Amino acid sequence: MKLSVNNVLTLKNLAGPNNINLKTLEGLYSIELNLVGDELFIKNADDTVIYNLNIIINKLIEVIELGAKITPRDIVYLNNLVINHEDDKFIKLYQNKKAVCYTYNNKPIYPKTIKQIEYIKLLDKLNILFSLGAAGTGKTYLAIAYAVNLLKNNQIGKIILTRPAVEAGENLGFLPGDLKEKVDPYLRPLYDALYDTLGLEQTEDLISKNIIEIAPLAYMRGRTLEHAFIILDEAQNATCEQIKMFLTRLGFNSKMVITGDPSQVDLKDARLSGLKFSADLLKDIEGIGCLNFTSIDVVRHPLVGKIIDAFAKAKK
């Protein structure tokens, strides 16, 4: 394959450090790639693979010339788009690029997929947003980054993060410690996202001042939550009654995000999950919306998307 590239830096970015980007493509298609000058030599590839690679390489060169630094995650996502004939959307990730938030060490957090860009736009627009879909699509992480940005800009006075305290095949009662110590392991992903965006010291300081609150869903009952950004995570493990209780806590100048994966219900009876029912029931009310992520949007290791698809196929 002859590459139309005049800049050696573009070729270096395309290959990545130690050819990691080319190795990612090799792993995706079980082929061998060698970049020599401005030519890419391909071994063990059929016509379909060559066709896909041609699209992928040219799209990558296009965004590199816009200033993007390509990573294996970009390649996996672009490959998903190509397979689903949506590769024309890829360039939108790099046009008018805007950070959702900056981390404690000033690293920008950008949307990594087209669906994530849509997610941020809906968060701007709506008061309540249901965010449904597979693990690894950034539903919770991006919502927390968005909330932190609002807090830094004094647009809200509080961030509240909550989850149902439901075990995934384990018994909460056998864990050592008081209630907080028993529940904290279930809230750990929320802490991790906060540590990423604010750093350990500032996170702990804001928690001690009650500006950030992390608590089980049951603790929301009877409250009115104003001037706050509230996230209900793992909502597939909440019943209809619990989700109704949560949503009716909404006060003025507040936003709510309800995230969850309907395919990963840990309740003893999966039919008790209220997430999908509530999202479908309320999505057409003005000020409320629903966004569905799929395996295409998974931004973890490429095997995660394949695992999700395999389980979904087996379940059907």
Q: Confidence class of residue 119 from pLDDT cuts 50, 70 and 90?
A: very high
Is residue 162 located within the same domain as residue 61? no
User: Do you know the residue count of the chain?
Assistant: 316
Is residue 47 located within the same domain as residue 189? no
Whether residue 158 contacts residue 209, with contact meaning beta carbons closer than 8 Å, is answered with: no
Residue 307 located in a structural domain: yes
Is residue 163 located within the same domain as residue 208? yes
Q: What is the pLDDT of residues 94-111, one digit of tens each?
A: 887 899 999 999 999 999
* Full residue range of the structural domain in which residue 246 is found: 101-315
Is residue 88 located within the same domain as residue 106? no
Is residue 310 located within the same domain as residue 189? yes
Question: Of 34, 66, 93, which marks where a domain is finished?
Answer: 93
Question: Of 38, 59, 93, which marks where a domain is finished?
Answer: 93
Question: Of 42, 77, 93, which marks where a domain is finished?
Answer: 93
Is residue 71 located within the same domain as residue 107? no
Is residue 204 located within the same domain as residue 308? yes
Q: Confidence class of residue 198 from pLDDT cuts 50, 70 and 90?
A: very high
Query: Which structure tokens are listed for 146?
Result: 């968005």
Residue 267 located in a structural domain: yes
Query: Comparing C-alpha atoms, which of 265, 288, 287 is closest to residue 276?
Result: 265
Is residue 269 located within the same domain as residue 218? yes
Residue 1 located in a structural domain: no
Q: What is the pLDDT of residues 253-284, one digit of tens each?
A: 999 999 999 988 888 888 889 999 999 999 99
pLDDT value at 132 more than 50: yes
Is residue 118 located within the same domain as residue 74? no
Q: What is the pLDDT of residues 1-30, one digit of tens each?
A: 766 676 788 889 999 999 999 999 999 898
State CA 250 to chain mean position distance. 24
Nearest 5 degrees, angle CA 271-CA 128-CA 145? 105
Q: What is the pLDDT of residues 218-237, one digit of tens each?
A: 888 889 999 999 999 999 99
Q: Confidence class of residue 183 from pLDDT cuts 50, 70 and 90?
A: low
Beta strand 108-109 with 101-102 is antiparallel
Is residue 201 located within the same domain as residue 75? no
- Which of residues 2 and 159 earns the better pLDDT score? 159
For 127, other C-beta atoms within 10 Å of its C-beta total 16
Q: What are phi and psi of 167, to 5 degrees?
A: -80, 145
Is residue 150 located within the same domain as residue 275? yes
Global pTM reads 0.86
